[in-house]
Amino acid sequence: MNERAEPAPTVAVVGGGAVGVTAAHDLAARGADVTLYERGNLAGGSSGRAAGLLYDAYAEDVDATVGARAMERFRAFDRSLPGFSFTPCPYVIAVREGDPDADAVPAMVERMRDHGREVRTLDPDALGERFSALWTDDLAVAAVAEGAGWTDPPSYVRALGDRAAREGVAIETETAVRLGPRTDGKRKVHPSNGGAEAEGRAFDAVAVAAGAHTRSLLAAADVPVPVVPYRVQALVAPVAYDGPMVYDATADAYLRPHPDGLLAGDGTEPVPADPDDYRREADDWFREDVAAVLRERLAGGDAPAGVDRDPAADARAWAGLCTATPDGDPLVGPVDASGEAADRGSTAGPAPTLFVAAGWQGHGFMRAPAIGETVAEGVLASLAGVAFEDPDSPWIVAFDPTRFDGDETFEIAEGMSLSSRTDEE
């Protein structure tokens, strides 16, 4: 006599960016019945405006582990995912003379090397000899990570979205949602299209990976999370450049090769932004600042071809949103265990129905393959009764969303920075 198979768990993923699409794809690949809701189009939010720098050169244990898995999957997708490509490219961390952070670079590099990363420090002369496109006379120290690269972020989201659909994921774009309360061990999602809200569907689990809209979505479900959107900016300049990716730590700016020339940016505004009403065009001050960095880093003060001293240089520029948390680490995991932020080690109470993945501090896209996988494995483990802190749980304890009350106020910190939490914190 054949035993009746258990029905597949039903999971709604809210958010069609890199993390949400990866989670939906990986959930379906593991047998879940998945519906992905996106209020606009896939890659229409932060992922569509991301810089596309990819690296795993982190000093802290958790970040290094997540980064390594993300890079492993990016490289695998380069071989197996039509429409997506990964371009290997060294990543340079440059610190200028007079910057107190210069003294921290050798120890940071040693910690990266302890994690097996191919990273080393270089003096400015050696850096200039290796990468002739860079001006290095004003630098105190630099580090070069070899296992890095870049890609086009929207191409990843769209290509993996196509594969997810083939895996059976129902993708509902142009569909905003409202989260209903937990009822009978399930949670209802009410979609709306064109303003008319539908009756809704009950799911075994709902994973919210909605970027800048995460806080408002969860607040409507009476779940507060300290995820604050802030504005960042980038541009593509028609500059002939075939050098490495560079993070100028002193200037808080980055650059990388781009098919149309050179992509550069940061332009962080460390104040909260309204995800429904923020300026999507780049500011003149940002254009001026980035043009100055490009002149300094590529030509020692002389404008390279295509980089005008005029703030209205012939460049395509834009602004997007990143999300911050009080400690700079993301929130990834269940937020309604037993209806409250309960004892994480306990198996008592019903399985969680609501999960969050947000607060990337500018590193969301480069972590997406690993975090999406964690969300998929974590959701299914939680539904199977595995407690958050169980040794067999896929969740990352350092990213536990219930480490905060949810109503914290805090200053938004620069996402790309040499400063980060240490293993001892």
pLDDT confidence of 354, banded at 50, 70, 90?
very high
> DSSP for 160-219?
HHHHHHHTT-EEE-S-EEEEEEEETTEEEEEEEETTEEP--EEESEEEE--GGGHHHHHH
Q: Is the pLDDT of residue 212 over 50?
A: yes
pLDDT confidence of 193, banded at 50, 70, 90?
confident
* Cα-based distances in Å from 167 to 30, 174, 207: 10, 21, 18
pLDDT confidence of 302, banded at 50, 70, 90?
low
How many CA atoms within 13 Å lie on the side-chain side of 374? 30
**With respect to CATH, is domain 10-49+154-227+325-403 assigned 3.40.50.300?**
no
The top-level CATH class assigned to 228-322 is alpha beta
**Closest to 327 in 3D by CA, of 252, 249, 398, 407:** 398
Q: Is the pLDDT of residue 346 over 60?
A: no
* Mean pLDDT for the stretch of residues 74-90: 98
**CA gap 157, 361 in Å, rounded:** 19
Query: What number of other Cβ atoms are within 10 A of residue 282's Cβ?
Result: 20
* Mean pLDDT for the stretch of residues 102-107: 96
**Closest to 353 in 3D by CA, of 367, 364, 338:** 338
**Closest to 241 in 3D by CA, of 171, 340, 315:** 315
pLDDT confidence of 419, banded at 50, 70, 90?
very low
* Cα-based distances in Å from 407 to 100, 228, 329, 403: 34, 11, 16, 12
> pLDDT digit string (tens) for 234-289?
999 988 899 999 999 999 999 999 999 999 998 889 999 999 999 999 999 999 99
**pLDDT at residue 421, rounded to an integer:** 33
* Cα-based distances in Å from 195 to 10, 13, 181, 224, 359: 25, 20, 21, 25, 28
**pLDDT at residue 307, rounded to an integer:** 58
* Mean pLDDT for the stretch of residues 378-387: 96
Region of poorest pLDDT, from 2-11, 35-44, 280-289: 2-11
CB contact set of 384 (below 8 Å; sequence gap of 6+): 351
**pLDDT at residue 285, rounded to an integer:** 92
- φ and ψ at 100, to 5 degrees? -65, -20
**pLDDT at residue 424, rounded to an integer:** 37
CB contact set of 120 (below 8 Å; sequence gap of 6+): 109, 113, 143, 144
**pLDDT at residue 311, rounded to an integer:** 35
Biggest distance spanned by C-alpha atoms of the chain: 81
pLDDT confidence of 422, banded at 50, 70, 90?
very low
pLDDT confidence of 417, banded at 50, 70, 90?
low
**pLDDT at residue 281, rounded to an integer:** 94
**pLDDT at residue 206, rounded to an integer:** 98
357 and 217 in contact (C-beta within 8 Å)? no
CB contact set of 87 (below 8 Å; sequence gap of 6+): 149, 150, 151, 257
**Complete edge-to-edge strand list for the sheet that includes strand 245-248:** 119-122, 139-145, 91-96, 245-248, 253-258, 261-272, 228-237, 316-324
**CA gap 135, 124 in Å, rounded:** 9
Mean pLDDT of the chain: 90
Put residue 197 in one of left, alpha, beta given phi > 0 → left and psi -120 to 50 → alpha: beta
Query: Partners of 229 in the beta sheet?
Result: 323
DSSP class of 337: G
Q: Provide the whole-model pTM.
A: 0.93
Q: Is the pLDDT of residue 23 over 90?
A: yes
Among residues of the chain, what percentage have pLDDT more than 70?
89
Among residues of the chain, what percentage have pLDDT more than 90?
82
**CA gap 62, 164 in Å, rounded:** 28
pLDDT confidence of 339, banded at 50, 70, 90?
very low
pLDDT confidence of 338, banded at 50, 70, 90?
very low
- φ and ψ at 411, to 5 degrees? -85, 140
333 and 388 in contact (C-beta within 8 Å)? yes
pLDDT confidence of 350, banded at 50, 70, 90?
confident
**Domains of the chain, residue spans:** 10-49+154-227+325-403, 91-146, 228-322
112 and 145 in contact (C-beta within 8 Å)? yes
**pLDDT at residue 259, rounded to an integer:** 95
Structure tokens given for 8? 């597949």
Render the burial of 316-329: b for 16+ CB within 10 Å, e for the rest: ebbbbbbbbbbbbb
Q: Is the pLDDT of residue 293 over 60?
A: yes
**pLDDT at residue 299, rounded to an integer:** 77
